[in-house]
Structure 1
Amino acid sequence: MLHTASLLHDDVIDASPLRRGAPSAPSKFGSKLSVLGGNFILGRASTALARLGDAEVTQLIASVISNLVEGEILQMRDKTYLKTASLMAKGARSAVVLGGCEEGEVWKDIAYAYGRNVGIAFQLIDDILDYESTSTPGSADLTLGKPGGADLQLGLATGPALYAWEEFPEMGELIGRKFEGPGDVEMARSLVHRSSGVHRTKLLAKEFAEKAKEVLDELPESVAKRGLVALTERVVGRRS
């Protein structure tokens, strides 16, 4: 529910016409209803949280909501991984707490570390997909389910662009003016594709995925553990 609410707010802030290949809520219902819808879902999530009656979980999820807002504010200026990593890390820890983990046991820390690493890997892959889109910047990519070049359109320099900067100094000027000059977005995409930026970002995502799987080594063998390993591999292998 928290994730859905954040997506509704994201699409309003980013002015995204698509969400997973379908019209986004703002494009179909308008920004006002989308914001109200996101707020309504947050309210329902808070009600469900209160019914759990667990103080630690309440604190964890309340901090997730705070991190979602903080991450959105920060992302207006710079790309941040606060939202995704917080949601997955604290969500995983909350699940373990509700599963009956006792105070002082290591399982909560394992769950948190796993969620954080998977969350960062997920976001890095998301950054790559923005450059692997076959559509022109700002237009719809039906495979990806959102407009191509969305981060550049928002003035955000993500992993591929930052790595490209190391190989092409001229990228620094584009980043400095947040890709707002005529032809900046197209030039930035070209520099990224000519560089090893996408490849290096993919390697970084795999590093975080491997860290997540290493954390799982402390868990006993089980169907659940194998499922988490499979989930981690799916995160770095996704195409949309």
Structure 2
Amino acid sequence: MKKLVIKNLHKIFNIENKKVKALNNVDLSIGDGEIVTIVGRSGCGKTTLLRILCGLEQKTSGDMEIISKDNNKSNKIGIVFQEPRLMPWLTVEENMAFSLIKNKNKDEVRTKVNKYLHMFGLENFRNAYPAQISGGMAQRVSLGRTMCYDPEIILMDEPLGALDAFNRRKLQNEFINIFIKNDKTIIFVTHDVEEAVYIGQRVIVLENGSVVNDIPIPLDYYRDVTSIRFVKIKEKILNNFRGNNIG
């Protein structure tokens, strides 16, 4: 059981002798097994927040803590980027297994990789190289690699931004399946409001580096994007970005 608590988080970049505030007094609490989406304009601090959470960027000030109720000190965090970032000289199977490189039990590695090859419909492409598969399939390989690592918390930085509408919705549903079946905490960054509402149990709205709204999504999976309730929630989020007032 994990809970991620962020308190008074600040990040300032020094660019050409000027201080640029990327994150400003961010307070968030994300419970164990939640799927939370973060939405905001380009440059609002979404990616910076994820990079701090996974240790790729250092915070300027503030606190971040993963609280465990079961004394499990693993606290493994995985991240899926917008680009698949696969190694072109490795096959699909080998790319997935890369996160298990320290595991010397070959049978255990094979079992885990086969599980996610099956989950993402990639069994027939296990021996293909990244140049031989589609962008949507490559992103599934990237997600499978992260799942093989078996993190408690999965960070996703606009992982579907480069996909066409059909593959985008298909992978959105696969992310939801992962959440339902694997009891993972997922933090999913996107600039697409409809995607944020479709996937998230909560939508966090970031503006100018600050959390300006935290909106619960009281809808069951899988969601009808044309329903009145869905459209109203989407409109509520969009209202945060209209005019000078942030709601």
Normalized against structure 2, the TM-score is what?
Answer: 0.24
Q: Which has the higher contact order (CA 8 A, sep 6+)?
A: 2
After TM superposition, the score normalised by the length of structure 1 is 0.24
